């Protein structure tokens, strides 16, 4: 007899990541609006503090559970599925966090014109 795939964890991981992503977006938007109003009071490199790290950790946790549960849907055991999901999530999380720092640095240097995405 084969174990049942974790459909509930699959959906719960997705919903957790979406909920934490919403909190992350609202927090980041709040900090950047505060920075835009008074550039001297807040440095954008300081924005990446605990109030932004907590929802980011929530996103990463939800994505890890979502990926691991998705891998288990294909019949893999829980241990290797979570190992693969955690390593994939960890790598993506580090890359995205680094890119966020680069973008915030560009924004602080040149304002919103530094992020002109239509220049290509």
First to last CA, the chain: 56
84 near 68, Cβ under 8 Å? yes
Query: Each residue of 6-31: pLDDT tens digit?
Result: 999 999 999 999 999 999 999 989 88
Structure tokens, 90: 């960890």
Q: What confidence score (pLDDT) does residue 114 get?
A: 60
pTM for this entry = 0.85
Query: Each residue of 28-67: pLDDT tens digit?
Result: 898 888 877 887 666 766 777 888 999 999 999 999 999 9
Q: What confidence score (pLDDT) does residue 60 get?
A: 98
Q: Which helix (H) or strand (E) holds 92?
A: helix 78-110
Query: Each residue of 62-104: pLDDT tens digit?
Result: 999 999 999 999 989 999 999 999 999 999 999 999 999 888 8
């Amino acid at each position: 007899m084969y174990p049942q795939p974790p459909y509930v964890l699959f959906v719960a991981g997705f919903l957790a990541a979406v909920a934490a992503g919403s909190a992350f977006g609202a927090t980041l938007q709040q900090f950047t609006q505060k920075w835009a109003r008074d550039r001297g009071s807040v440095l954008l490199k300081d924005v990446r503090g605990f109030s932004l790290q907590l929802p980011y950790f929530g996103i990463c946790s939800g994505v890890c559970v979502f990926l691991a549960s998705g891998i288990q849907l294909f019949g893999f055991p829980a241990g290797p599925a979570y190992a693969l999901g955690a390593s994939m999530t960890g790598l993506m999380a580090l890359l995205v966090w680094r890119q966020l720092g680069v973008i915030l640095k560009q924004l602080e240097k040149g304002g919103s014109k530094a992020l002109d995405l239509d220049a290509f």
